[in-house]
Structure 1
Amino acid sequence: MAMEEKKKSRRVQDFCVLVLAGLVLTMSGCGGFPTRQTALPLSDLQEAKTMTTIRQSAVAGQFYPADPEELRTEIDTYLRNAEADMPEMPGKPRMLVLPHAGYVFSGRVAAYGFAALEGHRYDTAVVVAVSHRASFDAIHVYDGEGYATPLGTVAIDLGKVAQLKKFSTRFENVAAAESGEHSVEVMVPFLQQALGGSFTLVPIILSGDNEGDIEILAAALEGIVDENTIVIASSDLTHYPSYQDSVIADDRTVEAIMSGNPDTLASTIREMEGENISNIDTFACGELAIRTIMTLAHSLDINSVTTLNMANSGDVDEGSEDRVVGYAAVAFSKEPTGVDLTDTEVEHADIGFTGDEVLSADARREALGIAYATLNSFVEDGAEPNFEPASTELYVPLGAFVTLLKNGGLRGCIGLFETDEPLWKVLRDMTVAAASEDNRFDPVTAAELEDITIEISVLSPMKRILDPLTEIEIGRHGVYVKKNGRAGTYLPQVATDNNWDLETFMDSLCGQKAGIGSDSWKDGTAEVYTYTAQVFGE
């Protein structure tokens, strides 16, 4: 395939690109037309001092248009085109990796991330970047009153800034970090257009030589991030290799990001650094920012990663194929809480107690009573009864499986891993589903009721893990795996009842149950989640 055809076929759309007079200095990468930049010492730029004013735009007219109407029109064009080609994504975006080059080069890729935010509520945007100009021994967090762009001024969330400063003395307002820096600023006009004017901003800039700040920043952000906060890692990918070398390297970097493991990203980049790729300057200028949000995502159980779009500066007419900068838009979101076990079947094991004791003996008896009463009412009369349990534990929102057994054999099993509904209602609904919706079996009939017993598994929330060999405890953890749209789960007791070790348990789950390959849990291609279960029956 000719290079021109490859350019047209790579994960980019045909756009009506607006080439504006204000963009004659538009930057393809982090610092301008492809030339190497060197971080300057703090003293060479200006001394650090506290800023208490509005931070004015440093790169309007260079990275994006200075004229407000031109800027709105260009952003809107990118957003509308991204919306028309948006990949499916489970759940509300919670974190993004987005490029920060001049809009004519990376704007269409970044737009995928911002378009994914539209229609969701976000009160705060936290943008994490890595300095391109200054070297400093701190984590810069801007504590001025606002961030100004041609579209207006966004207020700084001074309450969250204060929380960060209270968390660690590493957080400072370093004036040099903002001087001429573009990596946070270029995100703001897109946020203004996608979210409107109702959000506040927390701008954070790391110094590229302070890897130790990753853990500090991730831990600090855990205290200020909620479901209505979007966290953005600002980063371009490869800088200045050839078009084809960029495509290959960026694919490897994004695959590492998709793993959800920040150590995998670091080791992938270190490996590529040793391969002597011609004219390479960096594989991700915001590597520390990306690793920070990956660490945070793992802590918050934000467990799904989606690549929204990829391209490089060679994909636009204004770019060169000889020296390119790579771009990707990647979203982190949380898996939907409900899991239909019609698709992800649960192996039945003998009744017993496994995992953490969530329910008291009285609550367990009442839970079984709810399940049996529901089964009889639904099968005989088609009615789903309401209950007012006496046990307070049954009002807690917890996931559960309901397993129906007929003469000791499996007769139906449906469940939810996580839910906002009280446990008693989950048990009622899953009993109905197990009796009528498990497509492995015909619906339960009234003639069968006297032969059916019920087993209940009350679950903890799922937690994504990165090292199954050390993080799975046989007999205590249930495991859920997924890859390429296929998934499966084993309850904790499956391993103990079959006398399986970890390798046998996981090989069977991945290879036989989920059908995703018995080695997928070892080679990192499968996503792996653990949970505990309290299992009980008559």
Structure 2
Amino acid sequence: MDIRPATYAGSWYPDTAAECRRQIKAFLAEKTLTPPDREPCGAIVPHAGWIYSGGIACRALALLKGSQVPDTIVIYGHHLYPKSSPRILSEGSMATPLGMLAVDEALAAKLMDRFTFQAESVHHFAPDNTIELQLPFIRYLFGDVKIVPVGVPPDAMAVEIGRFTVQAARDLGLSVKVVGSTDLTHYGAHFGLSHYGLGEAAHRQVRANEDRRIIDRMLTLDPHRVLDEALSSQNACCAGAVAAALAAGLEMGTDTAMLTEYATSYDKSPGDSFVGYAGILF
């Protein structure tokens, strides 16, 4: 089977199985989170280097596992612009230090029949941290579950893709869970956004305003409001991934969401530029 190599292993996260397992066990031991009352069907997770947001992503995905390992996990991500072509890896598998994850080719084919994707292959692809950084967590927590990695633009197509994913899985008799990968506000001189000034006071303002607003939109389970907020306030770098995941969750019947954790890179490394991270379960 053709395998897409791991691009960020050894830099953004460990490149050995032993070190991945060690860090994942440490993330899971760091905090004990209360699971939701009902079986979750989706999660929103951050995708910075593991040193900054790995714990939040890992623990949200552990809660997503619940009591039912699905046939397939659909992972929405990619840094795209409105009206960009969506992307998909429709065959082969993706490497992780803990073992490969095979693409659910039947579900991917259904998506490709419905939408015009920029199809990637295991040999020709745009390196992408948004999806890759989740894969070792998924391999560790869910075993050899199949995946469908999908890049989604931040526009109305994201909602259509999310809904159709669930309908197509239902037609195939597959159980699915979904993951939307995004970081929150990228603030500071490094990112060209400094309307609150710099330093701790600016950090407090971003937490209370930009990040709080986008988190609240996610918790309302309204993908269109998430898109509008992110595009107007620049407070989610992959709003399309969030919108697709929320739309899929609604199609599966979810009616509630919970914030599992929130932090920023400033919390670990104070500086004039920082990024927000949230874990959300639904």
Q: TM-score, normalised by structure 2?
A: 0.85
Q: Deviations over 1:478-532 (max 9, x none)?
A: xxxxxxxxxxxxxxxxxxxxxxxxxxxxxxxxxxxxxxxxxxxxxxxxxxxxxxx
Q: Deviations over 1:24-80 (max 9, x none)?
A: xxxxxxxxxxxxxxxxxxxxxxxxxxxx83110010011101122111100111123
CA apart distance, 1:270:
4.8
CA contact (8 A) 1:246 1:325 kept: no
Match of 2:215 among 254, 257, 262: 254
Q: Deviations over 1:383-427 (max 9, x none)?
A: xxxxxxxxxxxxxxxxxxxxxxxxxxxxxxxxxxxxxxxxxxxxx
Residue 227 of structure 2 is matched in structure 1 by 266
Residue 164 of structure 2 is matched in structure 1 by 220
DSSP-derived class of the 1:97 partner: strand
CA apart distance, 1:146:
0.5
CA contact (8 A) 1:250 1:326 kept: yes
Task: Tell me how far apart the structure 1 counterparts of residues 21 and 206 of structure 2 sit (CA, whole Å).
Answer: 30
CA apart distance, 1:93:
1.2
Q: Is 1:307 matched up with 2:256?
A: no
Residue 190 of structure 1 is matched in structure 2 by 137
DSSP-derived class of the 2:129 partner: coil
Q: Is 1:96 matched up with 2:96?
A: no
CA gap of 1:89–1:190, structure 2 versus 1, over 3 A, is same
CA contact (8 A) 2:76 2:131 kept: yes
CA contact (8 A) 1:90 1:304 kept: no
CA contact (8 A) 2:178 2:245 kept: yes
CA apart distance, 1:119:
3.8
Residue 205 of structure 2 is matched in structure 1 by 245
Point out where structure 1 has 5 or more consecutive residues left out of the alignment.
1-51, 274-281, 333-538
Q: Deviations over 1:152-208 (max 9, x none)?
A: 11111111111111223x1341359832211111010000111122x0010001245
Task: Tell me how far apart the structure 2 counterparts of residues 186 and 213 of structure 1 sit (CA, whole Å).
Answer: 24
Task: Tell me how far apart the structure 1 counterparts of residues 83 and 18 of structure 2 sit (CA, whole Å).
Answer: 37
Q: How many residues align?
A: 263
Q: Is 1:76 matched up with 2:25?
A: yes
Residue 173 of structure 1 is matched in structure 2 by 119
CA contact (8 A) 2:166 2:176 kept: no
Whichever residue aligns with residue 247 of structure 1, its letter is R
Q: Deviations over 1:296-318 (max 9, x none)?
A: 323332111011111111111xx
Task: Tell me how far apart the structure 1 counterparts of residues 231 and 87 of structure 2 sit (CA, whole Å).
Answer: 26
Match of 1:147 among 79, 90, 94: 94
Looking at secondary structure, tell me which structure has more helix per residue. 2
Q: Deviations over 1:232-256 (max 9, x none)?
A: 0010111124422331221221111
DSSP-derived class of the 2:186 partner: coil
Residue 104 of structure 2 is matched in structure 1 by 157
Task: Tell me how far apart the structure 2 counterparts of residues 174 and 156 of structure 1 sit (CA, whole Å).
Answer: 12
DSSP-derived class of the 1:325 partner: strand
Task: Tell me how far apart the structure 1 counterparts of residues 214 and 104 of structure 2 sit (CA, whole Å).
Answer: 32
Match of 2:272 among 310, 319, 322: 322
Task: Tell me how far apart the structure 2 counterparts of residues 53 and 187 of structure 1 sit (CA, whole Å).
Answer: 20
CA contact (8 A) 2:73 2:176 kept: yes
CA apart distance, 1:136:
8.4
DSSP-derived class of the 2:187 partner: coil
Task: Tell me how far apart the structure 2 counterparts of residues 214 and 247 of structure 1 sit (CA, whole Å).
Answer: 26
Q: Structure with the greater relative contact order (CA < 8 A, sep ≥ 6): 1 or 2?
A: 2
Match of 2:2 among 44, 53, 59: 53
Larger radius of gyration: 1
CA contact (8 A) 2:178 2:249 kept: no
Root mean square deviation, CA, Å: 2.4
DSSP-derived class of the 2:47 partner: coil
Q: Deviations over 1:332-358 (max 9, x none)?
A: 1xxxxxxxxxxxxxxxxxxxxxxxxxx
Q: TM-score, normalised by structure 1?
A: 0.46
After superposing on structure 2, the runs of 4+ consecutive aligned residues of structure 1 that deviate more than 6 Å are: none
Task: Tell me how far apart the structure 2 counterparts of residues 77 and 286 of structure 1 sit (CA, whole Å).
Answer: 27
Point out where structure 2 has 5 or more consecutive residues left out of the alignment.
189-201
- Identity among equivalent pairs (%): 23
Aligned pairs for 1:455-470 (under 5 A) are none
